[in-house]
């Protein structure tokens, strides 16, 4: 019983006994600030839930998402089929659950691709400056000149439909703002004393970039990537809606909504349910991103 208050007191005290203690104190304060924001906390809860659903899809789903049964086609929501059935008699709830995997797969893969690209291009441009900066930023501007969905459409048209190609297409359109952000952050540290000191000690350019610059840019990039998750999910759903993302019979929320449109008047749930799922998840990422910004980046709070 007494260990919890003790731990709290240890975390809250400012008489630090070690560096680790100070770090734990910082983390605990951030957590307190974060958990006092109910909206951000709700966003995190939804994302954790989504991750659990995606991980445990075979257990959470009540039916096989691919099993067709024409005798049960287009049934309204009921106790047996919580969100009804589609035109092939498949259970919409189970397809929604498996679709969570597709959504997370796309969002995570795009982020994992875009983060490093943004870091390398942005930090290189900002740190080296001169013509390297000019060339890299011009390329970034060219990509930024296109509205992102339109560019993603063009890339997926060229690469062909499919989920991996959708990931590549989205990644190609999402990296420029990240690179811009990293560059701007790098410029603020470029002439700091600690960077100059490292240069004078003969540290190589990659070492300075990865040991000194990148860690300092990380917080704002993490916020950016979290907020980006929402737009990645919306873009992926848009591609799926236009038939360029995941291909049938793979369950994907955007494609599910698109297929449901043909039966809109008879079976509204086919379109309504996946759309609400997309809305909730992208709302959760937006709320979490806003909450993280309040903690990690107080100047924009």
Partner 1 sequence: MGAGGMALAGAGRKLATSIGVIATTLFGLLALTFIIGRMVPADPVLAILGDTFDQAAYDRVYQSLGLDRPLYVQFFQYVQNIVQLDFGQSNVTKNMVASDLARVFPATLELAILAIFIGTVLGVPLGIVSAVRRGTWVDHLGRVVGLLGHSTPIFWLGTMVILIFYAGLGWIPGGGRIDLYNDGLVDGPTGMLILDAALAGEWEVFASAIHHILAPALLLGYAAMAYLSRMSRSFMLEQLGQEYILTARAKGLAQRPIVWKHAFRNIRVQLLTVVTLAFCGLLDGAVLIETVFGWPGLGQYLTAALFYADMNAVLGSVLLIGLISIVINLLSDIVYRFVDPRTR
Q: How far apart are CA 119 and CA 229, in angstroms?
A: 17
Q: Residue 207 class from Cβ within 10 Å (0-12 exposed, 13-18 middle, 19+ buried)?
A: exposed
Q: Segment contacting partner 1 (CB under 8 A): 117-125, 187-195, 199-207, 255-263?
A: 255-263
Residues with Cβ < 8 Å from 177, sequence gap 6 or more? 144, 224, 228
- Nearer to partner 1 by Cβ, of 76 and 264: the residue is 264
CB of 34 to partner 1, least distance (A): 18
How near is the Cβ of 5 to partner 1 at its closest, in Å? 34
Q: Which two tokens stand for residue 34?
A: 């974060």
* Segment lying near partner 1 (by CB under 8 A), choices 54-62, 88-96, 104-112, 264-272: 264-272
Q: Mask of contacts with partner 1, 172-211, x by CB under 8 A?
A: ----------------------------------------
Of 213 and 236, the one with the shorter C-beta distance to partner 1 is 236
| Beta carbon nearer to partner 1, 213 or 255 | 255
x/- track of binding to partner 1 for residues 127-166 (CB under 8 A): -----------xx-xxx-xxxxxxx-xxx-xxxx------
Two tokens at 116? 């490093």
SS3 state at 85: strand
Decide if residue 213 touches partner 1 (CB under 8 A): no
Question: In this structure, is the dihedral angle defined by the CA atoms of residues 50, 147, 173 and 95, taken in order, positive or negative?
Answer: positive
Q: Can residue 243 be called a binding residue for partner 1 (CB under 8 A)?
A: yes
Segment 267 to 296, residues that bind partner 1, using CB under 8 A: 268, 271-272, 274-275, 278-279, 282-283, 286-287
Q: How far apart are CA 255 and CA 237, in angstroms?
A: 7
The alpha carbon of 277 is separated from its chain's Cα centroid by a whole number of angstroms, namely 15
Q: At closest approach, how far in Å is the CB of 70 from partner 1?
A: 25
Q: Which residues contact 103 (CB under 8 A, 6 or more apart)?
A: 50, 54, 233, 236, 237, 252, 253, 278, 281
Cis peptide before 249 (omega within 30 of 0): yes
Nearer to partner 1, 155 or 212 (CB): 155
- Least distance to partner 1, CB of residue 60, Å: 23
| C-beta atoms surrounding 41 within 10 Å | 15
**Tokens, residue 135:** 């060339």
Query: By CB under 8 A, how many residues form the interface with partner 1?
Result: 45
Instruction: For residue 56, report the phi and psi dihedrals to the nearest 5 degrees.
Output: -105, 25
The contact set with partner 1 (CB under 8 A) reads 138-139, 141-143, 145-151, 153-155, 157-160, 230, 234, 237-238, 241-244, 254, 257-258, 261, 264-265, 268, 271-272, 274-275, 278-279, 282-283, 286-287, 300
């Amino acid at each position: 019983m007494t260990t919890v208050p003790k731990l709290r007191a240890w975390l809250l005290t400012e008489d630090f006994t070690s560096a680790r203690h100070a770090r734990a104190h910082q983390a605990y304060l951030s957590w307190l600030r974060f958990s006092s924001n109910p909206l951000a906390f709700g966003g995190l809860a939804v994302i954790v839930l989504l991750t659990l659903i995606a991980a445990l899809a075979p257990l959470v789903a009540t039916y096989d998402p691919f099993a067709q049964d024409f005798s049960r086609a287009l049934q309204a929501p009921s106790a047996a089929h919580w969100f009804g059935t589609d035109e092939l008699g498949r259970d919409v709830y189970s397809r929604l659950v498996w679709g969570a995997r597709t959504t997370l797969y796309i969002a995570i893969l795009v982020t994992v691709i875009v983060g490093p690209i943004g870091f390398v291009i942005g930090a290189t441009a900002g740190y080296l400056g001169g013509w390297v900066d000019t060339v890299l930023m011009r390329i970034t501007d060219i990509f930024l000149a296109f509205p992102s969905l339109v560019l993603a459409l063009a890339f997926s048209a060229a690469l062909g439909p499919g989920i991996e190609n959708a990931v590549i297409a989205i990644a190609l359109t999402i990296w420029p703002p990240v690179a811009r952000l990293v560059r701007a952050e790098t410029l603020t540290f470029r002439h700091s004393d600690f960077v100059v000191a490292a240069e004078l000690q003969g540290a190589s350019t990659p070492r300075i970039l990865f040991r000194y610059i990148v860690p300092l840019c990380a917080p704002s990039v993490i916020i950016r990537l979290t907020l980006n998750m929402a737009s990645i999910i919306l873009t992926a759903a848009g591609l799926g809606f236009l038939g360029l993302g995941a291909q049938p019979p793979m369950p994907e929320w955007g494609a599910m909504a698109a297929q449901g449109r043909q039966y809109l008047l008879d079976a509204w749930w086919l379109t309504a349910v996946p759309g609400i799922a997309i809305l909730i998840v992208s709302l959760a990422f937006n709320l979490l991103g806003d909450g993280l910004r309040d903690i990690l980046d107080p100047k924009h709070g």
